[in-house]
Amino acid sequence: GENVEQHPSTLSVQEGDSAVIKCTYSDSASNYFPWYKQELGKGPQLIIDIRSNVGEKKDQRIAVTLNKTAKHFSLHITETQPEDSAVYFCAASSGNDMRFGAGTRLTVKP
Amino acid sequence: DTEVTQTPKHLVMGMTNKKSLKCEQHMGHRAMYWYKQKAKKPPELMFVYSYEKLSINESVPSRFSPECPNSSLLNLHLHALQPEDSALYLCASSRIFGGANVLTFGAGSRLTVL
């Protein structure tokens, strides 16, 4: 089955700086890679996703890159704001099997 | 309506109680999921219903009993739980099951078993 590793487990940045979270996956059949943001007391919410036929996708301050050869994908947040503080989960999906990474707690200090 | 609604938000129960968690969506999604999330951990899949039929049961103990009465509703019946079952229980839905389908999560039901 799929195995997803996520790093770092915690990340603290100054407001306005960039944040990068990295994930690796094991199943070469995985073809869908969503990123979820979970704020305190809430369920995970999709913030961006990428499919295996695309190398990069951007939505305002958020971007995701995918390297299928290396089985790596990353989340990039630019111009971070205090409201970006949350736990971020990557996931990798192959057909009916979606696995989450362990999560990254991002703190943006004002 | 783009939400998944879960009730109750909080539930405290004893080990001999019987209770139920409820989930509702009106997005026309035909796949619904139950996840369990312990503190500082990712969600773990418990059950998947596809077109109101149980498609996946991730070896969940029988003290958890899912039910999908119709395409909009999903229940999780709880009986004789253990303290280690205390967790956040998340319901999610997607247009269909499998492939590159976006999961929409509810806010969760926080369960405490005494």
**pLDDT one digit per residue (tens) for chain A, 110 residues:** 789 999 999 999 999 999 999 999 999 999 999 999 999 989 999 999 999 888 999 999 999 999 999 999 999 999 999 999 999 999 999 878 889 999 999 999 99
Which chain A residues contact residue B103 at CB under 8 A? 34, 44, 46, 98
| Phi, psi angle pair for B56, to nearest 5° | -135, 130
Q: Taking the CB of residue A105, how many other CB atoms lie within 10 A of it?
A: 15
A107 and chain B: CB distance < 8 Å anywhere?
A: no
Pairing relationship of beta strands B87-94 and B104-105 according to DSSP bridges? antiparallel
A 36-75: CB under 8 A from B: 36, 41-46, 49, 51
Q: What is the pLDDT of residue A93?
A: 92
Closest residue, chain A, to B36 (C-alpha): A43
Return d(Cα A81, Cα A17) in angstroms, integer: 9
Distance from CA of B100 to the nearest CA of A (A): 5
Which chain B residues contact residue A45 at CB under 8 A? 105
CB contact under 8 A, A49 and B56: no
Return d(Cα B22, Cα B8) in angstroms, integer: 7
Residue B105 has its nearest CB partner, among A44, A49, A102, at: A44
CB contact under 8 A, A45 and B107: no
Q: What is the pLDDT of residue A97?
A: 83
Q: Taking the CB of residue A71, how many other CB atoms lie within 10 A of it?
A: 16
CB contact under 8 A, A43 and B42: no
What digits encode the pLDDT tens for the residues B23-67?
999 999 999 999 999 999 999 999 999 999 999 898 999 999 999
What digits encode the pLDDT tens for the residues B67-111?
999 999 999 999 999 999 999 999 999 999 988 889 999 999 999
For the cut 80, the answer to whether the pLDDT of residue B2 exceeds it is no
Residue B98 has its nearest CB partner, among A36, A51, A96, at: A96
